[in-house]
């Protein structure tokens, strides 16, 4: 699927807004994500930390789990942004665990949009970020 520039920018804007909702009292590194389902719905997520660290959850997985918990399991793209104290300074790629969760529900040509701003972004396929992944 080819994403239009306006759709990409809308996803990035929603991901940026999610930085405000991150709960990160330990790392102070805010991450926001906006996941586009094939049905057109956008599911957002932020990272949520916990003092025990293990129960913490990344923004990308928060968005995926919200969608799946509502019965949606087919997706086209995700935009991810992040930075210290909520200031975007560089691209913020998904961690390995998030890449594997995306591989569970997304095709190899699923688009991962990493953004510094509405104008500065890079688009990767899931296959590029996680070659030879475990999948159904």
Nearest alpha carbon to residue 43 among 16, 21, 75, 20: 75
Residue 4 annotated as catalytic: no
d(CA 44, CA 93) in angstroms, rounded, equals 16
State the distance between the two ends of the chain, measured CA to CA, in whole angstroms. Answer: 21
Catalytically annotated residue among 60, 70, 74, 119: 60
Range list of β-strands (E), the chain: 29-37, 42-46, 75-84, 111-115, 121-125
d(CA 61, CA 83) in angstroms, rounded, equals 17
Show which residues are catalytic.
60
């Amino acid at each position: 699927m080819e994403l239009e520039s306006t759709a990409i920018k809308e996803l990035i804007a929603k991901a940026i807004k999610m930085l405000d909702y991150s709960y990160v009292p330990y790392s102070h590194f805010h991450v926001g994500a906006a996941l586009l389902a094939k049905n057109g719905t956008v599911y957002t997520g932020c990272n949520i930390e916990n003092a025990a660290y293990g129960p913490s959850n990344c923004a990308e997985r928060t968005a995926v789990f919200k969608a799946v918990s509502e019965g949606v399991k087919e997706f086209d793209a995700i935009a991810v942004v992040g930075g210290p104290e909520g200031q975007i300074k560089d691209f913020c790629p998904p961690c390995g665990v998030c890449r594997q969760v995306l591989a569970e529900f997304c095709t190899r040509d699923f688009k991962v949009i990493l953004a510094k701003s509405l104008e500065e972004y890079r688009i990767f396929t899931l296959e590029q970020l996680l070659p030879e992944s475990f999948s159904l």
